[in-house]
Amino acid sequence: MKELIKQYENAKNKAFNFMNNGQLHDYFDALIEMNHYKKLMIQVPVN
């Protein structure tokens, strides 16, 4: 679970940087990546 959170945060930071640089295509790809990790985090049970 910790690894998924790290990957989600990395994708979030990439999205933020792409947005600030005006790289819309890469920004949207990073948002899709964030959505993927968020779905995985919901599926994994927390112990």
pLDDT band at 44 (very low <50, low <70, confident <90, very high): confident
Q: How far is CA 20 from the centre of its chain?
A: 16
pLDDT in tens, 1-39: 899 999 999 999 999 999 999 999 999 999 999 999 999
Q: Is 11 exposed, middle or buried (0-12, 13-18, 19+ CB in 10 A)?
A: buried
Question: How far is residue 13 from each of residues 17, 18, 28, 33, 45, measured CA to CA in Å?
Answer: 6, 9, 13, 11, 25
Classified as helix, coil or strand, 11 is helix
Q: Are 8 and 34 in contact (CB under 8 A)?
A: yes
Model pTM? 0.83
